[in-house]
Each structure stands twice: as structure tokens, then as C-alpha cells.
Structure 1
């Protein structure tokens, strides 16, 4: 599930879909640079960040690390917007790998000037396809930024990756998923409560009614929220989560 999605075409402001190179850092720390067509099969979801996440006094943006249930490790972010978007990638059941600042993309502008850009995220989906993500509020996309985003979209089209330029996600979705994210760690999948909840919600039931039927609500609610995070059970996160929210069986990851 991905929200606040905008997919850019190749666009007229960017370069033609050719002549791109990528530089990246392999998991063992080796730096590599090669033409984009030769790198399309690289597991960028395992690449190290090509840029450091700076932190200093009076910093306007807020960098940090998101512990990803998908990868079992930390994924960096440089703003609250990026934090929210990496959280939604982590919640997406189709995503099996995520990396931040996965590569530098290089190309030449029409005047011959060299240009570079490091996208914010690379995500690998379960079907093997790749997604390149840039995060930028709609009101903070200057002309130079738009040109880079369109060039990145053209590069992605060349190798069959999807490109997403994401702004602020839906506030209700973010609040709901952020709540469930508090229970994303596997330690919350406690048995036998998890099995009992799967049985209770084999047919759709209101959230608190099902929790009470499964046991002491204070004990089973953290397990229920974990099952909702992992999509073993499902609920509509586009509306505020409440005691009467209808919980149904999910497809799982």
C-alpha cells in the first residue's frame, strides 16, 4: 500500500533516457560506478547509503534511523516526510527490501554540464521489480529539482523501475500506521494470543469486540496491533482507527 503517490513520466525537461551512470556502495563497502544498463540487476535494496546523514546544531531538518520490520535493520531518513514515507514502505506487504540513498545517478545536461542526483529510497517488491523514491513537498519543488526528478524518472524507465515522487501522505493514514508501527517488532507476535486472534477474526468483527473475545484486552491488544501491522489481519487505515473498526482476515506478508 502506497499513499500520496505521484508518478512522473520521462518529461521534456529531463535528458533522453540514455547515457546514465550509477555509483553505489556494495554491502561490503566497495564503491562501484558503471553504466545504468549494466547495474539494473544490482540488489540496491542491500546497498549502503552513498551519502552520510548529517546532524548539527540548529538543523532545520530532522534526520534519524527507522527500524524496519521488513529488513530487520535501520533505514536512514533526513526529514519527517522521509520518515513517514519509509514507514509506509515498511508497512507495504509487497515490499521485501528497502535502502536509503541507494545510489548516485549521473548524466549530462543539454549544455554538457555534468549533473548528479541521489534518490531517497530504493524498494524491492516481492515480484522482483524495483521502485525508486524521492520525497519532496509539492511547494518545495524548484525548477532545478523538477529537472532532476524528471531525469531520474527517465533513467528508471530505461531499466524498468517505477519512479515515485512523493509529497506529504494522508494524515489519517500516517496516524493509523504510526500507531501500528509501535507494535511492528516480532516480539509482539505472542502465542497463543496470536492464534486465538486469527480464529476470532476469521469473520469480520469490531476491533474491541474481537479483542475481548480473544482474552484480556490489555494483554491481547498489542498482539492484535502486530497482526494488523503484518497484514495477517486487516483494517481500513484510511479512516481513523477506533474500537469499532472492522477487523478482517488478511493476506499476510
Structure 2
């Protein structure tokens, strides 16, 4: 259980929450403000499902391969990741600090015939309540929180020993500024201006260090690279220059 001092601290940045609440009605519009996430989703799912299958020895060709696994998607938005995880058999909880996202996610899941536990809450509150999961998805969230180390510590506390944490974010360099700020927000207008703060982007080495400090053990990282010719995303072993995704584990036992 987290200490009272740690649990009392919230990593929520109200300004960041307000940005996404303003866009909440558009989560399932593939041509709307979340078009970039819809385009990225197949690439994210490829990584997520592969890591879960490897960690828990699951056959992705089987029916409901993630049955018996309890999964949390923090910053679930409208449920773009929760729904495919539920279809694969996982027991899914979707949590978001933006209250208006939750009714949108619930309605879409109901229309899709899926049972997903959506909650307007935070990682810290769930950790304080003693919630425990086999998998925690933390996708494109860490660059929006007030304190990455406290947030990642809450992610650690939410995992069962041996549990899997998957985290994606944006690298901080000149290329990411051009691609994510100038390109996505100003030129392509995929996202409203100000959606991202480049100063909050985190380099892969910084993220690995933060995860270790939070008690997690990093085990993998890959880039997610956009191909403008094919208008699609792919995973890359080497190119982590803009978008990237990581996998880490909560150790089975604490080593002294």
C-alpha cells in the first residue's frame, strides 16, 4: 500500500484535464480531433498485445487469450484501447481524470456490447484504495501529469508482483518539436494548438530512470514511427526519436 503522504499527492494537472474534456465528444470520430490516435492505435495494439502475450504466456490465436487477466487503462479517454482489450477477454477497468470522457466511453462500450468498468478517478486514488492489476496501460499520459515520478509510483503500486506496465510518450528533441508541435498541431491541425507542452516531453533514458525510481524494472522499448507515404505507423527497434513505447515489470519480490 502507498504511504499516506504519497497517496495524498495528486499528479493531476487541471489545465491538461480541461484540454481533453473539451474534446471528449469527438473520441470515436476517426476524422476528428483524435484522428492521430485512431491512426496510431493499430501500432499501439500490436505492441501491447505482443507484450502481454509474452509476459503471461498467452496464445493470441486463441479465443479470448487474455481471459483471467485484470487490466487497467489509465487515461482511457473514450475507450480506444479498453474495447479491444475487452474483446480479447481481459477484465478491463478504464480510468480518466477528465469526467466528461467517462459517459462517452460507457455509451460506446454499451453500444458495442462490451462490459467495461469505466471510472472518473485517478491512479493515486485507485492505488490508495488497494486496487491491483496484472496489466497497467499508461499511454500518452505521463507527459501530461504534474509529477511524473509520483504518477509512475502510483502505476507501480497498482500492479500485482510480476505485473506488466506499458507506457508510451513523446521524446524531447528538435525533431519531436517539429513533428508533434509544428506538424500535428499547427500544420496538419490534427490536434488543437497547445495540446502538448514540449517541455514536458520525456526522453527514453529519462523515462527508464523514472521507472526504476518508481520501483519498476524496464524490459523493452520501441519507437512508433509514422510513414507519410503509407499514411500509417510501424514499430521500430531503433527509431525512438519522436513517439515511443516501453514495457516494464513490477518485480516479483523486493531485493534488499
Q: Which has the higher helix share?
A: 2
TM-score interval for Structure 1 and Structure 2 normalised by the shorter chain: under 0.3
TM-score by length of 1: 0.27
TM-score by length of 2: 0.27
Larger radius of gyration: 1
